[in-house]
Structure 1
Amino acid sequence: MQYRKFGHTGLTVSNLCLGTMTFGLQIDEAMSTQILDKATDAGVNFIDTANSYPLGGGAQMAGRTEEIIGRWLKGKRQRFIVATKAVSQVGPAPWDKGASRKHLLDAIDASLERLGTDYVDLYQLHYDDRDTPLDETLDALDTIVRSGRVRYIGVSNFLAYRLAKALGRADLRGLARFVSVQPRYNLLFRQIERELLPLAEEEHLAVIPYNPLAGGLLTGKHKGDAPPPEGRFTGGKSGAMYQERYWHEREFTTIEALKKVVDEAGVALSTASIAWVLANPAVTSAIIGASRPEQLTATLAAADMTLDAGLKAKLDELTHEYRWGDAQR
């Protein structure tokens, strides 16, 4: 396992982060614990979750993932960097979501209780709440940081211009500043290379990409001429979302080309895909996940892999069109 500085902070994290969005729904607690054990035994010291997880469980199940992690963390909290998020709907009331002062102050206390800790290392906005004034959100986060309940703050799923605006407002008003961004990034989704990653590098932000395997498509195990198997690409809104993102003829054609290249290099596609994400100098730590502990073997191998320059160039070339999004499809 390799370790990297977390943006411009003094924090150091593993270059792989364990994502937990399936814990408590697709994966039961016993299996979740095995996955946590395998990842952390390999040197992962960074765990990412959210108050709305498990994904696909709806507001009625929100918080179950944090509860599982909290029970697992008991007695070893100081060994790990724990990140969680707020903004998504987590209850029946209209104020049980968003980035308002009321919701964020309520949400952090609820997350801390579920996680069984008195602080979170990284607290992130799960997405950009355009219905709440940005200054109100920044004020609330500053209050939370100064109270000691959160060490650092970050964002996820933000457009570059909105993140730039938030950084500027925080600097102007002397408030706690975002230190990280969590975007979607993989060989089949490279749009963030155009604006978000250059902004992150210029502002010295940590970048912790999720979906480095495109929901599992970059394992190479799925076939486009067959219905999606039970799992990430099926079931409710989350399954529909993943199908819309990746389950297209163009993506499967690209994957076949990628498989040929990595097979010739003697590297597993999943390992090469994550190593490609980590090879970007803007990236700090890639968020990985699994349905079973053994699925982590190939992804964990990417932590210490230096991607051959020739292989990286081929992967870049085969996926260059994905820097431009659906407009180029």
Structure 2
Amino acid sequence: MAGIVTQLQQVAVAVATGHLDAATRGPLRFRAVGSSDLSVFPLALSGNVFGWTADDAETNSILDAYAEQGGNFVDTADSYAGGRSETMIGNWMRKRRNRSSMVVATKVGKSADHPGLRARVLTRAVHASLNRLGTDRIDLLYLHIDDVNVEFEETLLAVDELIRAGKVRYFGCSDHTGNRLIEARVASAQLGVAPMVALQNRYNLLQRSEYEGDLAHVAAQQGLGVMPRFALASGFLTGKYRQRSDVALNQRRGEVAKLMTRRGMRILTALDRVAREQSTTVASVALAWLLAKPGVVAPVASVTSAEQLADLSDAVTLQLTRHQMADLDRASQ
């Protein structure tokens, strides 16, 4: 752990003093989330493993290493480990007394206790999340599902009430189509309530079609901050899965195995090539590719140990060349 912290501190000093290679590294800049006043580290730390594959000690170690790196953007959900993820993040913030320096994003709609997005259910879910997080406000609330059984007006009015009460600062959506984003924006304008400022959808080098196209166009039109989730495709884009035997111990081995196609291997080959040119890791290149895409604010990535953060830390200052971006674009078509 000490070695990782030292490495991250050295990176931070190098960035601050301008001693990183100017051809491939840029200054570390926090990014605004859409039209909000939230300013976030360009890599969001997912809490989806907290309380699942990471226990309390490992979770604290991961969060400590992320904060040492300068990270301030933690992403979780009320359905992660049955709410345990929120509790562990809340305990860590209380022990470190750093709530004011963190931007906390959570999602509601999928938990077993509060499923769906009806007004009363959503309100209860947010109150439960606030209790688990040990805080008086959620900085960024995501609608974790597109609940087509509930009129947008009902959900939007409930969220607006929470915003007016100071319990939620801003909100966004997850798993919504471009058409549904348009419906939500129209409904928000008609009701005179707060509009969405963020979008979280599956987006990475292997899985581009869900986001690129209509959804990306609408997100740009509405000025939404985009936070790609599954940014490393369940670990496949770290480069550690090269053959079937490598997948055996992965918790999402079924999903990862499906990615081991000719196209998947072609993408890894391109990532290997760029990583060598940039003297960095495959994972950092995959994240840097996302960060170079229009509208992307902060990819959401998870790690199972503090040591793995070192493999991702380069992405936030890594600047890919036009040729490298084009190479990765072609390989992932």
| Aligned residue in 2 for 1:83 | 105
SS at 1:218 equivalent: helix
TM-score (ref. length: structure 2): 0.87
Cα displacement (A) at 1:227? 6.1
Change (3 A) 1:51 1:245: farther
Give the conservation status (yes or no) of the 8 Å contact 2:171–2:197. yes
| Aligned residue in 2 for 1:9 | 36
Cα displacement (A) at 1:159? 1.0
| Aligned residue in 1 for 2:56 | 29
CA distance in 1, matches of 2:195, 2:180: 14
TM-score (ref. length: structure 1): 0.88
Give the conservation status (yes or no) of the 8 Å contact 1:224–1:249. no
CA distance in 1, matches of 2:134, 2:142: 18
Give the conservation status (yes or no) of the 8 Å contact 2:51–2:85. yes
Range 196-205 or range 33-42, more displaced: 196-205
2:106 alignment partner AA = T
Give the conservation status (yes or no) of the 8 Å contact 2:44–2:301. yes
CA distance in 1, matches of 2:306, 2:93: 18
2:238 alignment partner AA = T
SS at 2:245 equivalent: coil
Indicate which of 150, 153, 158 corresponds to 2:176. 158
Change (3 A) 1:265 1:227: closer
| Aligned residue in 2 for 1:70 | 90
Q: Which digits, 9 at most, give the CA deviation of each residue in 1:208-231, with x for residues without a partner? A: 111111111011111233262323
Cα displacement (A) at 1:255? 2.1
| Aligned residue in 1 for 2:241 | 222
| Aligned residue in 1 for 2:309 | 296
2:280 alignment partner AA = V
The list of structure 1 runs, each at least 4 consecutive aligned residues, that deviate by more than 4 angstroms after superposition, is none
Change (3 A) 1:224 1:127: farther
Cα displacement (A) at 1:259? 2.2
Give the conservation status (yes or no) of the 8 Å contact 2:45–2:300. yes
Q: Could you list the runs of 5+ residues in structure 1 that have no partner in the other structure?
A: 55-61, 235-239, 321-329
SS at 1:63 equivalent: helix
SS at 2:169 equivalent: strand
Q: Which digits, 9 at most, give the CA deviation of each residue in 1:283-323, with x for residues without a partner? A: 01111210111111121110011112211110111112xxx
Change (3 A) 1:245 1:69: farther
SS at 1:226 equivalent: helix
2:146 alignment partner AA = D
| Aligned residue in 2 for 1:252 | 265
SS at 1:44 equivalent: coil
Cα displacement (A) at 1:9? 1.8
Q: Could you list the runs of 5+ residues in structure 2 that have no partner in the other structure?
A: 1-27
Give the conservation status (yes or no) of the 8 Å contact 2:236–2:256. no
Change (3 A) 1:195 1:244: farther
Give the conservation status (yes or no) of the 8 Å contact 1:29–1:68. yes
SS at 1:47 equivalent: strand
Indicate whether 1:138 and 2:165 are aligned: no
CA distance in 1, matches of 2:285, 2:54: 26
Cα displacement (A) at 1:10? 2.3
Change (3 A) 1:14 1:265: closer
Change (3 A) 1:28 1:207: same
CA distance in 2, matches of 1:21, 1:265: 30
Cα displacement (A) at 1:250? 3.5
RMSD over equivalenced CA pairs, Å? 1.6
| Aligned residue in 1 for 2:15 | none
CA distance in 2, matches of 1:179, 1:153: 6
Indicate which of 191, 206, 227 corresponds to 1:208. 227
Range 219-228 or range 23-32, more displaced: 219-228
Cα displacement (A) at 1:81? 0.5
Give the conservation status (yes or no) of the 8 Å contact 1:224–1:248. no
Q: Which digits, 9 at most, give the CA deviation of each residue in 1:60-108, with x for residues without a partner? A: xx110000001001122101010101000323xxxx3001112101100
SS at 1:151 equivalent: strand
CA distance in 2, matches of 1:196, 1:244: 27
Change (3 A) 1:21 1:245: farther
| Aligned residue in 1 for 2:21 | none
Give the conservation status (yes or no) of the 8 Å contact 2:267–2:328. no
| Aligned residue in 1 for 2:79 | 52
Give the conservation status (yes or no) of the 8 Å contact 2:270–2:327. no
CA distance in 1, matches of 2:216, 2:257: 24
Cα displacement (A) at 1:200? 1.4
